[in-house]
Chain A
């Protein structure tokens, strides 16, 4: 029985609320055991609870659905926003299904599928090794994943291109490898680059799910005679929500990526849908209806992973994190196993970070477009000498912090809805969020202009376009879907018994949540906060279209340097910016370590076996 892939509901059936169950060590805060002083009134909490769901839907409708709909409707009714003469036409939709755009869409679908699978194949073992074994340098894995996430996708693409191109670094040092050039400058390279971006999403989703998965399941399997590998067949199905979530988000992130599409894929003559979409918008005059028609195809494409996910998870529950969850024991790797595992993880980071890092740093140190081998720090000097350099940095830090804080709250609410049993509303929410991930940011940006710059708003005195308020709202709306997707894996593990046990011990609803549930999800929340912060800190398409004149964010400042013949200065600025973002990640993780109660931090942390 154990040897078979046991359906998860048999292993982790939802438990009746058990008022006598001990609160897990990790769930106890410092004040645990003391009666609380001030409590929110039950009526207020109940009201807040009831209001949360409609408020979430209202926010989603206004800030995700409305702008996306305003953009997508242009595919069939360009006249609505003065973008063509037709009130109704299907010509744009028919047009994008054929020729270059149709081919680009097919390319995008298969490449994104392959990238998501690659991300899972690499990210899952790394997450498991870091969370459950004595892998050397495992503490650095999370940091490394954050750096991978931090890098805009065009940076690794340029780094690889610079390395293997016919005039690249390898060629200049006499190491001509045509097969490598051919492999990277083609579909394989595109899948590799996009797949590397998917690995951190898998890592995040799976590692937070592993954190909520106690030792008891592996123990049960081992007690019943399963080998270590066979016990994985028990554990893996329980991680299904996180795995499917990782696949879905990997697919959606890949299908909406523009950085690789505009660099490596373009240079390899391998057309992707996002490139065609951007081309329709970036040409003059922009052909918004054609871009909208491409947007419809991208939205439709996410149905694929959702249908597969729905079929795989139907009728099962994955709530495994309860008061009885046991701290896991870290598995001791053999000497050979340790070497192989460390080498594998190191190889991943070399490919994902080392190569683009070399490319970016070398690019920022060249003095003369790379004509000679002379390296210089002059570009860094220029970055710090530029007037007004600090403004965009502090602005983007503030935008990132505010956006991340609000998004995490919204993402948690959305994740809670997604984690519930599938109702029609939940399925719609799931589709809406994933479709929003699949839409490139430029669609959001243009959609926000169409939706929130209508003349009627100005007549009512509401002028949101070109204000920081609308920019931050757009950041939140574009970050929330990914955020909810990352959180859903861990939220779906939280059993209601955690909350109910706290209530049974006399806590009010809010305090029960703070005491019973927050400790269990605090680490994923911090991770989700950082994910959003990093995404916003260097976000470009939304920033370009929506920033308030006179207040450019950091990404716009970098892009201007890259575009104004100051390529090396722009690269230096990008390197400095990544360093700053990394410092923020370090500070936040340090603050969590210092400020969070020890019990919170112990949840999901393995001990040495």
Chain B
């Protein structure tokens, strides 16, 4: 009853009902707290809206992706989480390989091309949006003729002028490196990718820890081109309008996704599915896009009919690529170790 009253009062709840079918999958008396592990900037806004829409209590563990995955791996004999919501399909593929995720769940939604490409075959996780890795950010005043291809970054014109993050501290950087390897040599492109980054190093690439310091190096003049996650680059334009963002082709997609704990109770799993339904509803998308308009809200939707925030560059003229998370995920440690040992140093 409480759910019905709340649903009537809040438009978002109506949207949930239309998207996910019967809203009362979990009866009022059966509700248990849904433990949400999330690294999304808008998670607090979304969970509050979800609570208001469904009456399901949410316990939010908002953290960086690293600590969340550490908790999941350390507690996998006796997990305490209900759903995980982070960027990067490789982490989900790794969890899926360990049979830690519920398989076969797909919300009843109309995916666009980005969404279709991001849904895994076994439906073990649900994409909720896409960012790109890495976008090229530069200052209009300092760079009038920016590079148009990845190969141009190796030219003497950009010697010592390219900044990027290290994959050991920046989550989106591994998908970028894997994406470059995939672009240059397909699923067995490690050698060609390594050769590319060795040339980039020889050309004086400047490695910083994460997006913030890399952007700082750009704005302070240490470098002229910064390779960062698209949401970080576009968000930085809010604080410095002189910055410009350009996507080099092909640019690798980095979907954010929701995975559900395979060992959670049936009730909590049902609630987690309702949460995924809500996130992909019109109301949920609206909250996601308004939660952190200068940060994680700068994503490309994965649903037909949903548009990205106006400040994001159009994707129509840019070639994107997806890396297969089940292929590249297991190589993450080895590739990161190689990069830190040979390029970062």
Q: Which residues of A contact B64 (CB under 8 A)?
A: 544, 559-560, 563
How many angstroms between the C-alpha atoms of A548 and B78 in the bound complex? 16
- Within A73-129, which residues are at the interface with B (CB < 8 Å)? 81-83, 100
Indicate which residue in B220, B239, B295 contacts A167 across the interface (CB closer than 8 Å).
B220
Q: Which of B139, B168, B239 has the most C-beta atoms of chain A within 10 angstroms of its own C-beta?
A: B239
Complex: A548 Cα to B344 Cα, angstroms: 36
Residues of B within 8 A of A549 (CB): 35-37, 59-61
Given A549-B35, A565-B211, the answer on whether A166 and B222 have CB atoms closer than 8 Å is yes
**B73 and A288 within 8 A (CB):** yes
From the candidates A100, A286, A388, A552, name the one contacting B341 in the complex (CB within 8 A).
A100
Across-interface contacts of A453 in B (CB, < 8 A): 74-75, 77-78, 80
Q: Which residues of A contact B71 (CB under 8 A)?
A: 449, 545
Q: Who on chain B is nearest to A557 by CB?
A: B62
Interface readout for B111-122 with A: 1 if CB under 8 Å, 0 if not? Answer: 000000000000
Cross-chain contact B94 with A284 (CB below 8 angstroms): yes
Q: Would B77 and A370 count as touching, CB distance under 8 A?
A: no
Q: Decide if B73 touches A285 in the complex (CB within 8 Å).
A: yes
B74 touches A388 (CB 8 A): no
A545-B295 CB under 8 A given contacts A263-B209, A567-B212: no
Closest to A100 in B: B341
Q: Does the CB pair A282–B77 fall under 8 Å?
A: no
- Contact check, B74 vs A369: say whether CB atoms are below 8 A apart: no
Closest chain-B Cβ to A197's Cβ sits at a distance in Å of 20
Are B212 and A454 in contact, with the CB atoms below 8 A? no
Q: Which residues of A contact B62 (CB under 8 A)?
A: 552, 556, 560
Check A286 against B78 for contact (C-beta < 8 Å): no
Name A29-50 residues within 8 Å CB distance of B. Answer: none
* A232: chain B residues within 8 A (beta carbon): none
A279 interface residue per 8 A CB criterion: yes
Q: Residues of A contacting B63 with CB < 8 Å?
A: 544, 556, 560
Among B59, B220, B332, B345, contact of A370 (Cβ-Cβ < 8 Å): B220
Residue in contact with B209 in the complex, picked from A266, A455, A465, A547, CB distance below 8 Å: A266
Query: B100-143 CB contact bits vs A (8 Å, 1 = yes)?
Result: 00000000000000000000000000000000000000010000
User: Does residue A281 face the partner (Cβ distance < 8 Å to B)?
Assistant: yes
| Alpha-carbon gap, A562 to B295, bound state (A) | 12
Say whether A348 faces chain B, with CB atoms less than 8 Å apart: no
B148 interfacial contact with A, CB 8 Å: no
Q: How many residues of A contact B (CB 8 A)?
A: 57
**Is A369 within 8 A of B219, CB to CB?**
yes
Considering the chains assembled together, what is the distance between the CA atoms of A480 and B69 in angstroms?
A: 28
A-chain residues with CB within 8 Å of residue B242 when the two chains form the complex: 371
* Residue with the greatest number of chain B CB neighbours at <10 A, chosen from A269, A371, A552: A371
Whether B236 lies near A284 (C-beta < 8 A) is: no
Q: How far is the CB of A153 from chain B (nearest CB, A)?
A: 15
How many Å lie between the Cα of A421 and that of B168 in the bound state? 47
Contact assessment for B70 and A287 in the assembled complex, using a CB-CB cutoff below 8 Å: no
- A608: Cβ under 8 A from any B Cβ: no
- Check if A172 sits within 8 Å of B90, measured CB to CB: no
CB-based contact B220/A269 at 8 Å: no
Q: Decide yes or no: A284 and B77 within 8 Å by CB, A166-B222, A269-B345 being known contacts.
A: no
Q: For chain A, residues 364 to 399, give those with C-beta under 8 angstroms from any C-beta of chain B.
A: 367-371, 388
Partner of B70, one of A286, A369, A388: A286
Interface presence of A315 (CB below 8 A): no
Q: Are A371 and B220 in contact (CB under 8 A)?
A: yes
A286-B70, A371-B220, A566-B295 known; A449 vs B75 contact (CB < 8 Å): yes
Residue among A368, A454, A562 with max Cβ neighbours from chain B (10 Å): A368
Q: Is the CB of A369 within 8 A of B236?
A: yes
Specify which of B60, B74, B329 is in contact with A288 (CB 8 Å cutoff).
B74
Q: A279-B168, A370-B220, A371-B219 are in contact. Are A564 and B41 (CB under 8 A)?
A: yes
Q: How many residues of chain B get a CB closer than 8 Å to chain A's CBs? A: 64
Say whether A607 faces chain B, with CB atoms less than 8 Å apart: no
A550–B63 alpha-carbon span in the complex (Å): 11
Q: Is B336 an interface residue (CB 8 A)?
A: yes
B82 to chain A: closest residue by CB: A549
Q: Are A81 and B77 in touch, CB under 8 angstroms?
A: yes
Residues of B contacting A282 in the complex (Cβ-Cβ under 8 angstroms): 66, 70, 168
Q: Counting CB contacts under 8 A, is B76 at the interface? A: yes
User: In this assembly, does A334 line the interface, its C-beta being within 8 Å of a C-beta of chain B?
Assistant: no
In the complex the two chains form, what is the Cα distance from A368 to B220 in whole Å?
A: 10
Among B74, B220, B295, B329, point to the contact of A565 (Cβ < 8 A). B295
CA distance A252 to B342 in the complex (A): 30
- For residue A283, CB closer than 8 A to chain B, the reply is yes
Which residues of chain B are near A449, meaning CB under 8 Å?
71, 74-75
* CA A185 to CA B63, docked complex, whole Å: 30
CA distance A83 to B98 in the complex (A): 11
In the bound complex, do residue A545 and residue B70 qualify as a contact, i.e. CB atoms below 8 Å apart? yes
Within B208-226, the residues touching A (CB, 8 Å) are: 208-212, 215-222
Interface centre among A167, A285, A465 (most CB of B within 10 A): A285
Q: How far, in Å, is A161 (CB) from chain B's closest CB? A: 9
Question: Is A446 a contact of B70 with CB atoms below 8 Å?
Answer: yes
Q: Which A residue's beta carbon lies closest to that of B340?
A: A279
B36 cross-chain contacts in A, Cβ below 8 A: 549
Report A150-178 residues with CB < 8 Å from chain B CB: 165-168, 172
CA of A455 to CA of B75 in the docked complex: distance in angstroms? Answer: 10
How far apart are the CA atoms of A371 and B222 in the complex, in Å?
11
CB of A262 within 8 Å of the partner chain: yes
Q: Does B178 contact A (CB under 8 A)?
A: no
**In chain A, what residue has the closest Cβ to B43?**
A560
A469 at the interface (CB under 8 A from B): no
Check if A283 sits within 8 Å of B232, measured CB to CB: no
**With A166-B222, A167-B222, A449-B74 as given contacts, are A565 and B333 in contact (CB-CB < 8 Å)?**
no
Interface membership of chain B positions 37-72, coded 1 if the CB is closer than 8 angstroms to chain A and 0 otherwise: 100010010000000000000111111101101110
Q: What residues of chain A have their CB less than 8 Å away from a CB belonging to chain B?
A: 81-83, 100, 165-168, 172, 262-263, 266-267, 269, 279, 281-288, 367-371, 388, 442, 446, 449-450, 453-455, 457-458, 463, 465-466, 544-545, 547-550, 552, 556, 559-560, 562-567
- Apart from the given pairs A449-B71, A549-B59, 4 other A-B contacts in the complex at a CB distance below 8 Å: A263-B209, A284-B69, A286-B73, A371-B242
A–B Cβ pairs within 8 angstroms, 5 of them? A167-B220, A266-B166, A369-B240, A455-B77, A545-B70
User: Footprint of A on B, CB under 8 Å?
Assistant: 35-37, 41, 44, 58-64, 66-67, 69-71, 73-78, 80, 90-91, 94, 98, 139, 166, 168-169, 208-212, 215-222, 231-232, 235-236, 239-240, 242, 292, 294-296, 329, 332-333, 336, 340-341, 344-345
